[in-house]
Amino acid sequence: MTDITTLVEAEHAPAPGTPQRASRAPGARRARTYPYLVWPVLAVLVVLIAVPVVAMFYGAVQDGNLGSPKGTSFSLRALAQVYLGWPYISTLLGTVGLALAVALLSTAIGSLFAWIMSRTDVRFRKFFELTVIAPLFLSPFIGAIAWMTLGAPKSGMINVNLRHVFGTDFTLIDVMNVPGMIFVMTMYYVPYGYLLVGAALRNMDPSLEDASYINGNGHLRTAFRVTLPLVRPAMAAAFFFIAVLSTGVFSVPGVLGGRDGFVPLAVRIYRATEVFPSDYAVAASIGTMLFIVTIIGVFFYRRAVANAARFVTVSGRGFRPRIIKLGSWRWVVTTVLVINFVVAIVLPYIALVIVSLTPYAQTDFTKLNLSLNNFTAVLTAPKVMEASWNTLLLGIGSPTACVVLGVLIAFITVRSGSPIKGIIDYLATIPLAIPGLVLATGMIWLYIRTPIYGTLWILLVAHVAAYLTHASRLASNGLIQIDKSLEEASIVNGASLPRTLWRITTPLIRPSLLSAWILIFIFSVREINEAIMLYSARSNVLSVVTWDYMQNGQIRQAAVVGILQTIGLILGVLVARYAFRVKLTSASL
Amino acid sequence: MTTSFSTAASPQAGARSVPALEVKDLRISYGAVEAVKGISFTVEQGEFVTLLGPSGCGKTTTLRCIAGLEAPSGGVIRINGTEVASVTRQLSPDRRGINMVFQSYAVWPHLTVEQNVAYGLHGKKLDRSEIRRRALAALELVGLEKFADRYGTELSGGQQQRVAVARATVTDPAIILFDEPLSNLDAGLRERMRAELLSLQRQIGRTAIYVTHDQSEAMAMSDKIILMNNGAIDQQATPRELYNRPRTRFAADFVGTTNVLEGVLETVGERRFFRDGEQGIELAVSDRDAADGAAIAVTRPEHIRLTTDTNSLNALPGKVLSVEFLGSRCDVSVDVPGIRFRIEAPAGFEAAVGSPITVVFDPDAILILPATGQA
C-alpha cells in the first residue's frame, strides 16, 4: 500500500511548479508550442473548471425559481442574506475554526507518527505504517456513520454497553457534536500529515542530525532543535492542505451535526438546496464564501510548499538517519499506535458489521441477535444494484478521463513552449481550492437546462473537474523525470505528436499514471460532496444511497451499503497492488 | 506539404549543385536573450560538418533548430533547397527528412533494440517483413544484430550509442544530426566510436552535422568545422586551415594549444617586428599582410625550439619551469621573463627545473592576428 501512498507525497512535491517557472526564465529553451493540442485542452479546462465557478458567482446574484421556465433575474438578495447576516458569518467563523482545529490535530499526530516511523526502532513498523495510512483509502463518510453507531449519546454501542458494565445512566461518549466532528475528521486527515511530513523526514540529510548528536545533544534536544525546525515548512504545508480539505467537507458534519447544532458552510449549502423551499441563489452565495476561504487557504499552502522546497536537502543516498532505541518507551509508543488502529479502523468496522447484521435497531450487546437479512434485503434492492453499477461506472470512467487529460496537461506544462501553458497549469490546479460541493453548486446553475443534467454524465464531468489535478500533477512529476530527448527522438524519427504521446510518453510515465488512476478511483467511489448535489433518481450512487438511508433513520441499511462500498475500495487497492507489481518489473527493464 | 516532404527527404531529388543545408542569418532568442545571433553557413551533399564551440555558444541550439525541435526568431533554413524553417513557417521535424543522434542516446527503455530501430519506419507504408529487414540491416551496420531482442537499458553505453546511430540511419534521412553523441562515453571508447562513426558516415554517404565542444573530435572527423562563440560564427574552415590559420584569438585559443602575446606590429625598412608591450620582447615575423599597430602574435608549441645557442634569430633567454614526459614527446613550460610559454620538445629532451634555456621562435610560424576582439 505504501507504493500508492508515495503518490500523495509526489503530488505535494514542489517540483511541478518549479520547471514551469524556470522555463520562462531567460536562457531556457524555447520549445515548440503545439497550438493544436494546447487550445482544445484549454477549452476543456475552461468548461470543466472556470465556467462552473463563474456560473456560481452568477447564481449568487440571481433570484427566482431555478427550475421554472421563467428563469431567474438579477438580485442581491441572496448575497446580502449570506454576507450581511450574522447566522452565516458566525457559521463561516465556526467552519474556519473547525478546519483549523482538524488541521492542527492531524498535522501534529501525523508528524509524531512520521517521526516515530522514520527515527525510532518501533516494532512492526510495516504493519503500523499501514494502519496509519489506511484511512486515506477508506471513506470518512462511512467512518462518521460507524462512529455515530458507536458514540451517539443515547443509543451508541459504547454508551449502551458500558452502562451495563458500570451500572449507571451516564453518557460516556458523545460524538454528535463539534468535538465529535473534529475527532472523526482528524482520523481521516492524519494520513496526509503523516505522508507529507514523513517525506520531509526521509529527504532530510541525516548528517544534520548526526552533527547535533556529535555536538552533545540528546535525542530530545536533537528532535526539537534540529529535526522539528527542518520539517516545519512541510508541517505548514500539511496544515494548510488539510485545512483547505476540511473546510469543504460535507459528509462528516452532515452525519454528526444535529438538526439544531452547529453545522459548517458545506452542510448549509446542501440544506439550502434540499430543505423546502430550496434556494439555489443562497446555495451559490454560500459557495462563493466557501470558495474565497479555500482560495486563501491554498495561497498559504502554496507559500508553505515553496518554503519547504528551500529546505529540501539532496544528499547521497545509502546512509540512513540514526535510529533511536525506544527502550522502555516502546510500550508507550506501541500502545498509542494500537489505540490509533483500534479507534480509526477496528472499532468503526466492527460496529458497522454488527449494525448491519442486527435485524432491529439494537445496539445492546446483551440482546444481540444477528442475521444476514439486512444484506440480502439491501443488496437485492433495485436502487442499490443500480447505484452500485453507477458507482462502478464512475469509478472507471472518471480516473480514465482524468489520466488522459492529465497526460496532455503534463505534456503541455512540462514540454511545450506554449505561451499559455501557465494558464493551463493554473486552471488545472484550481480544483484543489474548490470544495466538491462548491463546484457542484456552480454546475447546477450551468447545466440545469441541458440534457446532461440529472444523468450520470454530469457526475462524470464533476468528478473529472474535481480530481483532474491529481492526474495532471502526478503525470507532470513523472514527465519531469523523463529525459525529453526520448520524445524528441520519436519526433525526429517521423512520428506525429499523438503517436509520440501514445507510444513513448505514456508508457514511460505509466507508473505515475497507474498511481493517479487508482487514487482517483478511490476518490470517485467514495465521493459524496458532488453526488449529493447533482444526483437524480436515474443517476444514484452508493454514497447517496447511504445518505438517504441515514436521513430515513435506516442505519442498518446504511451500514450494509457502507460495507459494500468499503469492500469495493479495498478491492481497488488490492488490484492496484497487483498492478503496481506489474509496473515494478516492467520499470526495472 | 507532401511535395516539400519528398524533396526534403531525398537528396537525389535536388541537382548536384543544391547544398544539403543552407542556413541564412539564423537567429534564435529566448525572451530577451539572443542565443544565436544571425549565423549563415552551407553544407554540401555528403559533407561532414562540425559545429564546434564552448558550452553556451549556441551550437546545440542551432542543431535543434535545424531538426525542428526549436523555432527560429529570424532567418531561413533550407534542406536540399526546400525551406524548412523561417519565422513564419516551420515544417515539423518528421517532414524535414532528417534524423538525429542525441547526447543521451534517447534509446527508449520500454522497447527492444529492434523496436527502437524500426520505430521510424512505421508510417512509411512498408510491410512488416520489409520493416524488419531494414531494421536488422541497420543493426548489422553497427554490429548489433545479435542484440535485436534486448531492451534498451540492457545495453552498455557504447551499444546504446550504436542503437541510436542505427535508428538515425534507418529512415534514410537526407541529413543526420549528431548532438554531442560521444560526450557520455569514457575516453577509450570515445576514440573507437569516433572512428566507427566516421567510417559509417563515409560508408552510407550521408550528409552529417555534428555538434561537439571537443576540438580533437572535430579535427579528426570533419570536412569542415564551424567554430562558434557567443551565438556567432567565429570561423568556418577545414580542420587544417583552422589549426594553421586561425583568424581570431578565440579560434587560436580554442583549437589546439597556443602561446599568445599581445603587443604592437612594426615595420622597419624591409623587416617586420612584433614587440610585446610589457615585457620588452621583440620578435621578427615574416607576415607581410597584417597592418602595423596593435596586434596579437600566436605560436603553436611545436613551432618553438629549445636550444642552448643564444645567437639565433628570435632567440630569447628563459628558465625551465616544468617538463612533462608524455612518451612520444615532452611538454615543457618555460618562463621568458614574465611570460610562460608552452613548448613541445622531442622525447629525449632533458633539463632540470630552474635551469636556463634559450627559446627560439620561427618567424614563419608566428601568426599575427588583429588585437581587437576578445581579450
CA angle B88, B94, B100 (to 5 degrees): 105
**CA–CA distances in Å: residue B28 to residues A26, A276, B58, B260:** 12, 65, 9, 33
Joined grid coordinates for residue B240 = 587544417
Asked if A491 and B94 come within 8 Å (Cβ–Cβ), the reply is: yes
Domain boundaries, given as residue ranges, for chain A:
1-46+372-589, 61-137+176-330
**CA–CA distances in Å: residue A396 to residues A11, A499, A572:** 21, 24, 10
Of B61, B171, B177, the CB nearest to A493: B171
Joined grid coordinates for residue B9 = 527527404
Tell whether B106 is within 8 A of chain A (Cβ).
Answer: yes
In chain B, which residues have their Cβ closer than 8 Å to the Cβ of A37? none
Domain B257-370 has CATH 3.90.1150.10: no
Closest chain A residue by Cα to residue B165: A489
Q: Where is B331: in which H helix or E strand?
A: strand B329-336
* Percent helix / strand / coil, chain B, rounded to 5: 30, 35, 35
- In whole angstroms, how large is the CA radius of gyration of chain B? 25
pLDDT score, position A582 = 34
- The class of domain B2-249 in CATH terms is alpha beta
Q: A 452-511 residues with CB below 8 A of B?
A: 483, 485-486, 488-496, 499, 503-504, 507-508
pLDDT score, position B342 = 93
Q: Rounded to an integer, what distance in angstroms lies between the CA atom of residue B365 and that of residue B313?
A: 13
Among A24, A30, A418, A508, most B C-beta atoms within 10 A, so best to mutate, is A30
Which comes out higher in pLDDT, residue A290 or A220? Answer: A290
Domain boundaries, given as residue ranges, for chain B:
2-249, 257-370
Tell whether B103 is within 8 A of chain A (Cβ).
Answer: yes
Section A353-375 average pLDDT: 76
**CA-based nearest residue to B303, from B241, B251, B243:** B243
Closest chain B residue by Cα to residue A23: B30
Tell whether A134 is within 8 A of chain B (Cβ).
Answer: no
Cβ pair B209, B179 in contact under 8 A: no
Which comes out higher in pLDDT, residue A220 or A271? Answer: A271
* Percent helix / strand / coil, chain A, rounded to 5: 75, 0, 25
pLDDT score, position A67 = 66
Tell whether B102 is within 8 A of chain A (Cβ).
Answer: yes
Cβ-count burial of B350 within 10 angstroms (0-12 exposed, 13-18 middle, 19+ buried)? Answer: exposed
pLDDT score, position A23 = 36
Asked if A486 and B32 come within 8 Å (Cβ–Cβ), the reply is: no
Which string of DSSP letters, residue by residue, matches A267-289?
Answer: HHHHHHHHSSSP-HHHHHHHHHH
Q: What tens digit of pLDDT does each residue of B118-141 get?
A: 998 987 788 899 999 999 999 998
- pLDDT exceeds 80 at position B87: yes
pLDDT score, position A584 = 30
Cβ pair A32, B65 in contact under 8 A: no
Which string of DSSP letters, residue by residue, matches B276-332?
Answer: ETTT--EEEE---SSPSEEEEEEE-GGGEEEES-TTSTTEEEEEEEEEEE-SSEEEE
**CA-based nearest residue to A119, from A204, A187, A191:** A204
Asked if B71 and A30 come within 8 Å (Cβ–Cβ), the reply is: yes
Nearest CA distance, A31 vs chain B (angstrom):
5
Among A36, A482, A493, most B C-beta atoms within 10 A, so best to mutate, is A493
Distance of CA B371 to the CA centre of its chain: 24
The number of beta carbons lying within 10 Å of the beta carbon of residue A127 is 11
Cβ pair A482, B59 in contact under 8 A: no
Q: Which amino acid is at B371?
A: A
Q: Which phi and psi (to 5°) does residue A335 adopt?
A: -60, -45
Tell whether B212 is within 8 A of chain A (Cβ).
Answer: no
The number of beta carbons lying within 10 Å of the beta carbon of residue A301 is 23
Joined grid coordinates for residue A279 = 434556494
Nearest CA distance, A421 vs chain B (angstrom):
16
Q: Where is B368: in which H helix or E strand?
A: strand B367-370
- pLDDT exceeds 60 at position A344: yes
Q: What tens digit of pLDDT does each residue of A7-65 get?
A: 455 556 544 333 333 333 333 445 678 888 999 999 999 999 999 999 999 988 888 77
Section A266-270 average pLDDT: 90
Architecture, CATH, for domain A1-46+372-589: Orthogonal Bundle (1.10)
Q: Rounded to an integer, what distance in angstroms lies between the CA atom of residue B265 and that of residue B291?
A: 7
Q: Helix (H, G, I), strand (E, B), or coil: what is residue A428?
A: helix
pLDDT score, position A4 = 45
- pLDDT exceeds 80 at position A371: no
Tell whether B31 is within 8 A of chain A (Cβ).
Answer: yes
pLDDT score, position A319 = 59
Q: Helix (H, G, I), strand (E, B), or coil: what is residue B357?
A: strand
Asked if A494 and B29 come within 8 Å (Cβ–Cβ), the reply is: no
Closest chain B residue by Cα to residue A417: B70
**CA–CA distances in Å: residue A300 to residues A96, A545, B280, B357:** 14, 36, 68, 72
Nearest CA distance, B240 vs chain A (angstrom):
33
In chain A, which residues have their Cβ closer than 8 Å to the Cβ of B99? 492-493
Q: What average pLDDT does chain A have?
A: 84
Section A128-139 average pLDDT: 88
Asked if B94 and A589 come within 8 Å (Cβ–Cβ), the reply is: no
pLDDT score, position A68 = 66
Q: Rounded to an integer, what distance in angstroms lies between the CA atom of residue B319 and that of residue B357?
A: 6
**CA-based nearest residue to A99, from A281, A277, A296:** A296
Residues 6+ apart with CB under 8 A from A219: A324
Q: Rounded to an integer, what distance in angstroms lies between the CA atom of residue A149 and that of residue A497?
A: 55
Q: Which amino acid is at B274?
A: F
Joined grid coordinates for residue B164 = 541510436
Kindly give the interhelix angle for A77-84 and A51-60, rounded to the nearest 10 degrees. 90
- pLDDT exceeds 50 at position A528: yes
pLDDT score, position B64 = 92
- Beta-sheet strand order (sheet of B224-229): B98-101, B175-179, B207-212, B48-52, B224-229, B232-237
Tell whether B92 is within 8 A of chain A (Cβ).
Answer: yes
pLDDT score, position A41 = 95
Cα dihedral sign, B20-B26-B31-B32: positive
Q: Which amino acid is at A455?
A: T
Q: What tens digit of pLDDT does each residue of A549-561 get?
A: 988 888 888 999 9
pLDDT score, position B284 = 87
- pLDDT exceeds 80 at position B280: no
Asked if B70 and A494 come within 8 Å (Cβ–Cβ), the reply is: no
Percent of chain A whose pLDDT exceeds 90: 39
Long-range contacts of B184-193 (CB under 8 A, 24+ apart): B184/B103, B184/B104, B184/B105, B184/B157, B185/B157, B185/B158, B185/B161, B186/B157, B189/B157, B189/B158, B190/B217, B192/B158, B193/B158, B193/B161
Tell whether A22 is within 8 A of chain B (Cβ).
Answer: no
Cβ pair B281, B336 in contact under 8 A: yes
Residue B325 backbone class (left: φ over 0; alpha: ψ -120 to 50; beta: rest): beta
In chain B, which residues have their Cβ closer than 8 Å to the Cβ of A486? 106, 108
Nearest CA distance, A412 vs chain B (angstrom):
15
Tell whether B297 is within 8 A of chain A (Cβ).
Answer: no
Closest chain A residue by Cα to residue B154: A589
Of A24, A26, A488, the CB nearest to B102: A488
Confidence band (pLDDT; 50, 70, 90) for B338? Answer: confident
Q: Do domains A1-46+372-589 and A61-137+176-330 have the same CATH topology?
A: yes
Chain A and chain B share a number of CB contacts under 8 A equal to 93
Tell whether B87 is within 8 A of chain A (Cβ).
Answer: no
Please, which residues bridge with residue B26 across strands? B39
pLDDT score, position A515 = 83
Q: What tens digit of pLDDT does each residue of B7-66 get?
A: 444 444 444 579 999 999 999 988 788 899 999 999 999 999 999 999 989 999 999 999
Cα dihedral sign, A380-A386-A390-A393: positive
Cβ pair B39, B77 in contact under 8 A: no
pLDDT score, position A259 = 62
Joined grid coordinates for residue A74 = 438579477
Tell whether B110 is within 8 A of chain A (Cβ).
Answer: yes
Of A24, A495, A507, the CB nearest to B94: A495
Alpha helices in A312-381 (DSSP H): 330-341, 347-357, 373-380
**CA–CA distances in Å: residue A448 to residues A139, A283, A456, A512, A574:** 29, 15, 14, 36, 38
Q: Say which DSSP state A504 is in.
A: I
Tell whether B115 is within 8 A of chain A (Cβ).
Answer: no
- The beta-strand segments (E) located in A62-193 are 62-63, 73-74
Confidence band (pLDDT; 50, 70, 90) for A361? Answer: low
Q: Where is A63: in which H helix or E strand?
A: strand A62-63
Q: Rounded to an integer, what distance in angstroms lies between the CA atom of residue B256 and that of residue A62?
A: 79
pLDDT score, position A70 = 66
The number of beta carbons lying within 10 Å of the beta carbon of residue A253 is 27
Please, which residues bridge with residue B298 across strands? B260, B367
ipTM of the complex: 0.76
Q: Rounded to an integer, what distance in angstroms lies between the CA atom of residue A320 and that of residue A323?
A: 8
Which comes out higher in pLDDT, residue A478 or B226? Answer: B226
Asked if B106 and A493 come within 8 Å (Cβ–Cβ), the reply is: no
Q: What tens digit of pLDDT does each residue of B92-113 get?
A: 888 888 999 999 888 998 889 9
Residue B351 backbone class (left: φ over 0; alpha: ψ -120 to 50; beta: rest): beta
CATH T-level fold of A61-137+176-330: MetI-like fold (1.10.3720)
pLDDT score, position A360 = 67
Cα dihedral sign, A149-A152-A156-A161: positive
Section A217-231 average pLDDT: 83
Q: What tens digit of pLDDT does each residue of A298-335 get?
A: 889 888 888 777 665 555 444 567 788 888 889 999 99
Q: Helix (H, G, I), strand (E, B), or coil: what is residue B32?
A: coil
